Amino acid sequence: MSRIISVSNQKGGVGKTTTVINLAASLAAFEKDVLVVDLDPQANATSGMGLPLPSPKNIHALLAGLADFDGSVVETGFEGMSAIPGSRDLAGLEIDLASQKGREFFLRDRLRVPEMDRFDFVLIDCPPSLGLLTINALVAADSVLLPLQSEYYALEGLSHLLDTIRRVRQLWNPAITMEGVLLTMYDRRLKLSREVEADAEDHLSEMLLGTRIPRNVRLSEAPSFGKPVLHYDVESPGARCYLQLAEELISR
């Protein structure tokens, strides 16, 4: 049975899409079959995996009922990684869904099909907001992975997201859990990074994952080549840390 993880933070620029792409590639390196669902209207995860935009197979078509699950999945060209590509039409679809009955369950109902069971992990890249698309991702998920950048105001707004997860648990998805909080853009040499790490340890305790994702030039460069960093520079610190993250999640 697939393990569905929503990667979410309402703040932009925290390493959310970077985490989805590189965690997927790292899980695949451990011989897991992984599906990436690009639910962000910006569709950066799609282009970051080297997939064309627009794509005839995409998440908008699946949510709008224009395609079924198998008709929405594409191969990425990286072993063990498949995707449901993003679509910039998602922004309009979110408005359309707002008036629909059961609008919180559209993604869950379209993902929870027998065909999905061939994947060990499903990673959902959420938009940087707490709108209806993110609610759909949380309702569909088994757990939430929350990237947190090692910068000032990192914890600001975190309580709002955690409140949203609690609300989703109460109303629509009682089984959802916290996969963990992942510190990104971390540099142990900087006092600021160490201070944010200490604050996160104080406030989040067991929710904080052991892996730290560093600031790394190769991580920043890889999306422009349409590749996960593991396929761009396997020896880079970023690649090694995402492999460590994958190992940490598998061991849970």
CB 139 within 8 A of CB 105: yes
Q: Environment class of residue 181 by beta-carbon count within 10 Å: exposed (0-12), middle (13-18) or buried (19+)?
A: buried
Is residue 125 over pLDDT 90? yes
CB 72 within 8 A of CB 58: yes
Torsion of CA 176, 181, 184, 187, to 10 degrees: -170
Is residue 234 over pLDDT 90? yes
pLDDT score at 238: 96
**Is CATH 1.10.490.10 what the domain over 3-251 is classified as, yes or no?**
no
Q: What is the pLDDT of residues 167-179, one digit of tens each?
A: 999 999 999 999 9
Q: Per-residue pLDDT averaged across 132-147, rounded?
A: 97
Question: Given its phi and psi angles, is residue 201 left (phi above 0), alpha (psi -120 to 50 degrees) or beta?
Answer: alpha
Question: Given its phi and psi angles, is residue 60 left (phi above 0), alpha (psi -120 to 50 degrees) or beta?
Answer: alpha
Q: What is the pLDDT of residues 20-75, one digit of tens each?
A: 999 999 999 999 999 999 999 999 999 999 999 999 999 999 999 999 999 999 99
pLDDT score at 44: 96
pLDDT score at 100: 87
Q: Environment class of residue 191 by beta-carbon count within 10 Å: exposed (0-12), middle (13-18) or buried (19+)?
A: exposed
Q: Show me where the domains of the chain are located.
A: 3-251
Q: How far apart are CA 90 and CA 108, in angstroms?
A: 16
User: Is residue 151 very low, low, confident or very high in pLDDT (cuts 50, 70, 90)?
Assistant: confident
Instruction: Report, in angstroms and rounded to the nearest whole number, the Rg of the chain calculated over CA atoms.
Output: 17
pLDDT score at 252: 81
pLDDT score at 95: 83
User: Is residue 165 very low, low, confident or very high in pLDDT (cuts 50, 70, 90)?
Assistant: very high
Q: What is the pTM of this model?
A: 0.96
- Strand-pairing partners, residue 82, are 35, 75
Q: Per-residue pLDDT averaged across 206-217, rounded?
A: 94
- Tally of residues, the chain: 252
CB 29 within 8 A of CB 246: yes
Is residue 87 over pLDDT 80? yes
Q: Per-residue pLDDT averaged across 181-198, rounded?
A: 91
pLDDT score at 103: 94
User: Is residue 164 very low, low, confident or very high in pLDDT (cuts 50, 70, 90)?
Assistant: very high
pLDDT score at 1: 83
CB 84 within 8 A of CB 16: no
